[in-house]
Every structure is written in structure tokens, then in C-alpha cells.
Amino acid sequence: MSRRLLLLLTLTCGVAVGNVYFPQTISPLVAAGLHLNADSAAVVVTAVQFGYAAGIFLLVPLGDRLPHRPLIVTLLGLTGLGLLAASVAPALAPLVGASVLVGITTVVAPIIGPMAAGLVADDRRGVVSGTLLSGSIGGMLLSRTAAGTIGDWFGWRAPYLAAATCVLLIAVVMARVLPTTRPPSGQRYPALLAESLRLLRTEPDLRQSCIYQATIFAGFSAVWTTVALLLTGPTYGLGAPAVGMLALVNAATMLCTPVAGRQVDRRGSDLVNLVCTVGVIASAAVLAIAGLGGTVGLAALVLGTLLLDVGMQSGMVANQVRIYALRPEARSRLNTAYMTCAYLGGSLGSWLGARAYAHYEWLGVCVVLALLAAVALARQVASIPPARHWGDHDMGWTGRRRATPPFADPVESAPGRGQSLPDRVQGGAS
């Protein structure tokens, strides 16, 4: 894993993930351009998110069955075609259909993560995962700002054209630089789908990571679903571009994930998770001040969302490192179960946030965030064994290690370990 390849993979993750989030910004432009009401135009946003959730479950397990290079390049090509179709859609129905296709196929980031984990040594897995996640977060935040600006200048079709151009260029580059990998599994496709559910049932560390991320991501989604209502409402009276500027400021948090990855490599996943959860609870208190409005409230909103983003993103790094160490030969299937649970939690959080804001305004959203983070913290505290110490390895609590021979490294003793890197990766960059 050269720095050049890691940089290109990080950029690919950002471009792919951005396709899920930039339609949120241009929804009003779509409504005006197609002569729709706001509710109808919002179906486009729902369609791409639904497609993304379906793509995670249906396509990400193929990362354990198919060579990564043709799989990733094919998905990028299909995403580009879907974006081009969306850019020329004459009505709502074709646009929704193209958006579903884009959502289903733009799932290369969850495929790249497990692939990259298999290309590096165990003690670099955290920093590599953190770097890739920084690209995804950057794409999620910066795509909103870029799409809003391009859409204001050139109309709602222009962001789709720009995104299609970026995706197709990335596909050409990936076809040349991705290494040739050997699929770790020969299972048939139905068995791969069932395996993700079976792993969720049989792997307690996977379930724990899913609980952590589902609750924290739910709180994150509750805040970001309603922050536009706060900024454009009577408390601040700002326009929609203010939401994009807040996202742009929060894009700085993508720099924290490589740092979090190094801490996971040194101190373990559980300690980092614990610190992140406490940070999310603290962010709820800071965000509550934002409901007061004025300069102080706006400063609290910026600081609180920064703290929330850092906590959520760093916790995601810790959880991914934990699950990648469980079954090296099934990393894509583990990531499928993990990401599906995370996005289900995010969907629930968006719904809870909207309901809380409707009944209790911004303070209700902050309470929802605090309660969800408290659930995660309670689960973490309950998992601490009576006698424990912090380990220097990626599994965190030494008392929660998987059953292995005395003094054995559970990562090294996991199925599929012991292979040299050339056995796992054939050839170099083509």
C-alpha cells in the first residue's frame, strides 16, 4: 500500500460517498426546474439513500467473492452512467429511477475499506482506515457545498454532470492502479448474503460495534437533519447557504480520523470508543446552547457540531478496526453487517430528530442526541470485565479477547492469517 495508492483510494471514497449527499442541497433547485413542489422533489433524496442502503446489503459482500479491480471499476462506471441519466431526466420518475441506480452502485467505499485492510500490516490498519474514512467524510460534507454553488450558477443538472465526470475519470484511474487481488471466498452469492446475517448473530464483537455505531450515527443524523431548520428558522433567520457553510467548516474534522486511527493502533478500539462517546455526550450540552441564538449560539453550534463529527468519525474508525480483525477472510461481509446497522440507525435518528424538533424544537434534538449516546456509553461500561487493563492491540480490553491459546495473538490465529502478503495480493499496480 503506497502513499499514492492510499491517496487515490481516499479520493475515490470521497467522490463515491458524495453522490449520496449532494442531492440534499439541490432539492429546491430540482423542484423549481421540474415544476414540482418541495415534497415531490425530496423523493429524489430518499431514492438515492434507499438505493445506497440496498447496495450495501446486496453488493458489498461481493468484495469477498470477486476480484476487487473489476468490481470497483464496474460499479464506478455504472454510477457514472446513472449520474448522466439523472442529468438529462425530463421528469421526476426518470430522475428517481436514475437516483436509485446511483445509490445502489456508489457503494465502492465500503468495498475499498476491507480491501485496503488486507493490503497493510496489522499495526497500520487503524491509520489506513482513518485516512479512507476522512475521504468519505470529506465527500459527504464538501459535496453539499460544491453542488449548491454549481447548482446556483448553472442549474440543477450541472451538479449531476460534474459528479458523472469525476466518477468516470476515477474509474479510468482505478482500472490502471488497483492491484490484482485474490478473492478470499468461493461461496455462492446467496450464501454471501446469508453469511452477513450469520456473522451478526455469532460474533459478539461485531454486534457491539454495530450497537455503538448505530446509536452514535443516529444522534449524528438527528442533528444534521434538523440543523437546517434551526438556521433558517426564526432563531437565526439565515438562508440555505448557511447550512453549506457549516458543512464546509465541519469538513476540517476529516483531518482527525487518521489521528484517531493511530490511537486505535496504539491503545485499542475500546478506549478510543469510550472517549468518543463521552465527547458526543459533551457535544449535546454544547449544542443545547445553540438554541439561544445570537453570536454565542452560533459559536456553540459550530463547536458542538465539530465535537459531534469528531466523536462519530473517530468512533467509526475504532469500530472498523475491531471488526476487520475478527475474520480476515470475511471482511466485506463483516462490513456489510456493520454498515447496514449503522445506516438503519441513521435512518431512525433522522426520524427521531424530525419528530423531536416538531414537538420540542432544538432542545428536543439535543436531548435525543444525549440519550442515544448515553445508550452507547452504558453498553460500553457494561462490557468492561471486572479485572482488565488496556491492551496495546486493536481489540481493546484484554478481558474481551476471543478464545485463543495463551499468549497467542487473536488476529494472527484468526482463519486466513499466516498468509504472506504475496499470497493475498497477486502482482502490483498494473
Domains in the chain: boundaries: 1-175, 199-402
Q: Which three cell numbers stand for residue 380?
A: 460500553
β-sheet bridge partners, residue 425: 181
CATH fold match for the domains 1-175 and 199-402: yes
Question: What pLDDT was estimated at residue 232?
Answer: 72
Predicted model pTM = 0.70
Q: Which residue has the cell 492491540?
A: 393
What does pLDDT average to in each consecutive run of 10 residues of the chain (430 residues)?
A: 86 92 78 76 76 86 86 95 94 92 92 82 74 83 82 89 95 90 78 84 88 90 79 77 74 74 80 90 95 91 92 86 80 82 80 83 94 91 62 41 38 41 40
DSSP state of 325: T
Question: What pLDDT was estimated at residue 239?
Answer: 63
**CATH class as words, domain 1-175:** mainly alpha
CA distances from 403 to 66, 380, 420 (A): 31, 20, 24
Question: What pLDDT was estimated at residue 256?
Answer: 76
For residues 416 and 327, what is the distance between their CA atoms, to the nearest angstrom?
8
DSSP letters, 41-77, are HHHHHHHHHHHHHHHHHHHGGGGGTS-HHHHHHHHHH
**CATH class as words, domain 199-402:** mainly alpha
CA distances from 23 to 16, 91, 165, 392 (A): 13, 16, 16, 42
CA 361, distance to chain mean position in Å, is 27
Q: How many CB atoms lie under 10 A from the CB of residue 65?
A: 18
Torsion angle, alpha carbons of 337, 339, 342, 344, to 10: -70
Question: What pLDDT was estimated at residue 317?
Answer: 82
Residue 58 burial (C-beta neighbours within 10 Å; 0-12, 13-18, 19+) = middle
Question: What pLDDT was estimated at residue 236?
Answer: 87
| Cβ atoms of 47 and 103 closer than 8 Å | yes
Question: What pLDDT was estimated at residue 132?
Answer: 86
**Helices and strands counted in the chain (H then E):** 16, 2
